[in-house]
Amino acid sequence: MLVHIIEKELRDIVGSAKFAVNFSIGTALILLSFYTGAQNHRIAQEQHEAALAANVRQYEGVTDWMRVQSFRIFLPPQPVAALVNGVSNDIGRTVEVRGRGELRSQDSRYGDDPIFAMFRFLDLDFIVTVILTLFAVLFGYDAVNGEKERGTLRLTFANAVPRTVFITGKCAGTFLGLAVPLIIPFLLGALLLPVFGVPMSGPDWTALALVTGAGLLTMGAYLLLSVWVSARTERSSTSFLVLLSVWIMTVIVLPRLSAAGADLFVSVPSMDEVNSQKSRFMSQLWNEDRTKMNGFTPANKGDVQEVMKEFNRYMQTLADDREKRFNEFAGRLNEERANRQMEHRRLTQYLSCLSPAALFTLAASELAGTSLRLEEEYLAQAREYQKEYARFMKEKTGTNTGGFAMVFRMVTDDNAEKPKPINIAEVPAFRFVPPAAEAGLPPFTIFSGTIALYALLSFAGAYRAFRTYDVR
């Protein structure tokens, strides 16, 4: 009997005009999101290569490694990130690496082209959180009370149909009726990726499949919620209004409010605040060092070259000492801010967990490697690279340039042979290793598990409500 009800539900949905319209729109949007994802990936890849080339060109004709003050590294675009943008467009892709000092990322996609930030991109996150959840509401809002209004519920229950079987069949049938057809555009879109030249690796495919699964699960959660509400209300117009409000709250309002809500409990000092504190401390250090510099007395006053060398050494110790003190201070500030930020993020996530749609956003970005961890990961790898770069530069120049050191050199020998240009390709290359999908798997599982929990609760609610539903 359950099979008959599921089958009927499937046929009822697929045969309806509502389905034809929604399915066409859904298919078009899903394919479009894959297409724009692929396009964006291609553009990002081109920009990335151009930036790498420009970076090298910048040092053309440079003959002295001393003149290489800094070296730029870039965050390469990742295929899945093009489909689940997360924060990938918001964080800086470029880091200017010096031999020492703090690293900061700059030049984000949205920073470069703010118009995109205004309306964001059409990615899978948008498809799921906005389009699929809306479909779920549109197809679920009258699941039970609509049958009553249409008068078919009476005839159904004139038969020996257990209510539990009916409500289970209703839920399963509606879900399958929506999910199975939607798999087609998802598969088509996925097939388009290699065609459009997006290099998908094995783990990329796995991540995409899991994200799609979580998307359908999210749709299922909204669908079951809709069935529940429709079994709690007499009229479908009422359930539609209720569900529309829930949808607006959980899809649009809550995710936006959660960060602001968390602000009420945890305040994170702004970056400006931290930076100004840092620069105040830095100028204080400089003032101290300037007095020290005035007290520099060379041991060997005769030889200019010797004096120069001695001065450079002296400056180097000052710089080292200054850097050490500054780093301690900045480290403390950074850590304090990072801790606050961590707390703030956690609270924001807890608050947004009230919304299945927000949970999907969190889950998907974890697997796509575009969660909040992306920037941390990038900077962490950049800091590792900085050490390597510093070692290299020390080898080339005998001193650690960059940071805040000042280097004085005198060129006295005019007859020396013409200096040869440096080969910038010798600088060690930065290779970003995307955080393994495995790292995203535990949070992904927790977030999608919570979505599943919502789905289960809604089903239990629908089940309970329908036990005493007036089928007349």
Interacting residue with other proteins among 2, 8, 307, 341 (CB under 8 A): 8
> Which residue(s) pair with 73 in the sheet?
95
Could you tell me the smallest distance in angstroms from the CB atom of residue 21 to other proteins? 14
Would you say the C-alpha torsion 461, 467, 468, 472 has a positive or negative sign? positive
User: What single letter denotes the amino acid at residue 327?
Assistant: N
Could you tell me the smallest distance in angstroms from the CB atom of residue 154 to other proteins? 6
Closer residue to other proteins, CB minimum distance, 7 or 384:
7
Would you say the C-alpha torsion 456, 459, 463, 464 has a positive or negative sign? positive
Beta strand segments in 130-186, E: none
**Cβ atoms of residues 262 and 213 within 8 Å:** no
For the chain, state the CA radius of gyration.
30
- Per DSSP, the three-state class of 270 is coil
Nearest to 359 by CA among 268, 258, 450, 242: 450
Residue 158 sits in the site that holds other proteins (CB under 8 A): yes
Could you tell me the smallest distance in angstroms from the CB atom of residue 243 to other proteins? 22
Binding mask 71-110 for other proteins (x = CB under 8 A): ----------------------------------------
Order of strands across the sheet with 71-74?
A: 71-74, 94-97, 105-106
What are the angstrom distances between the C-alpha of 390 and each of 283, 384, 464?
Answer: 24, 10, 66
- Looking at residues 137 to 156 of the shown chain, list those that interact with other proteins (rule: CB under 8 A): 150-152, 154-156
Could you tell me the smallest distance in angstroms from the CB atom of residue 161 to other proteins? 6
What are the angstrom distances between the C-alpha of 359 and each of 31, 128, 179, 218, 383?
Answer: 23, 11, 19, 9, 31
Residue 157 sits in the site that holds other proteins (CB under 8 A): yes
Closer residue to other proteins, CB minimum distance, 154 or 332:
154
Closer residue to other proteins, CB minimum distance, 5 or 367:
5
Could you tell me the smallest distance in angstroms from the CB atom of residue 186 to other proteins? 26
Burial level of 255, CB count in 10 A (0-12/13-18/19+)? buried
Phi, psi (rounded to 5 degrees) for 69: -75, -35
Binding mask 442-471 for other proteins (x = CB under 8 A): ----------------------------xx
- Per DSSP, the three-state class of 275 is helix
> For residue 1, what are its two tokens?
């009997």
Could you tell me the smallest distance in angstroms from the CB atom of residue 8 to other proteins? 5
Closer residue to other proteins, CB minimum distance, 160 or 433:
160
Binding mask 159-178 for other proteins (x = CB under 8 A): xxxx----------------
- Looking at residues 9 to 68 of the shown chain, list those that interact with other proteins (rule: CB under 8 A): 11-12, 15-16
**Cβ atoms of residues 95 and 105 within 8 Å:** yes
- Looking at residues 243 to 282 of the shown chain, list those that interact with other proteins (rule: CB under 8 A): none
Give me the residue label for tokens 């607006």: 248
Closer residue to other proteins, CB minimum distance, 86 or 169:
169
Instruction: Identify which range of 99-107, 121-129, 157-165, 300-308 contacts other proteins by CB under 8 A.
Output: 157-165
Could you tell me the smallest distance in angstroms from the CB atom of residue 29 to other proteins? 25
Closer residue to other proteins, CB minimum distance, 13 or 44:
13
- Per DSSP, the three-state class of 351 is helix
Binding mask 404-443 for other proteins (x = CB under 8 A): ----------------------------------------
Closer residue to other proteins, CB minimum distance, 13 or 359:
13
Contacts of 407 (CB under 8 A, 6+ apart): 66, 312, 315, 399, 401
Which residues of this protein are in contact with other proteins, per CB under 8 A? 1, 4-5, 8, 11-12, 15-16, 150-152, 154-162, 470-472
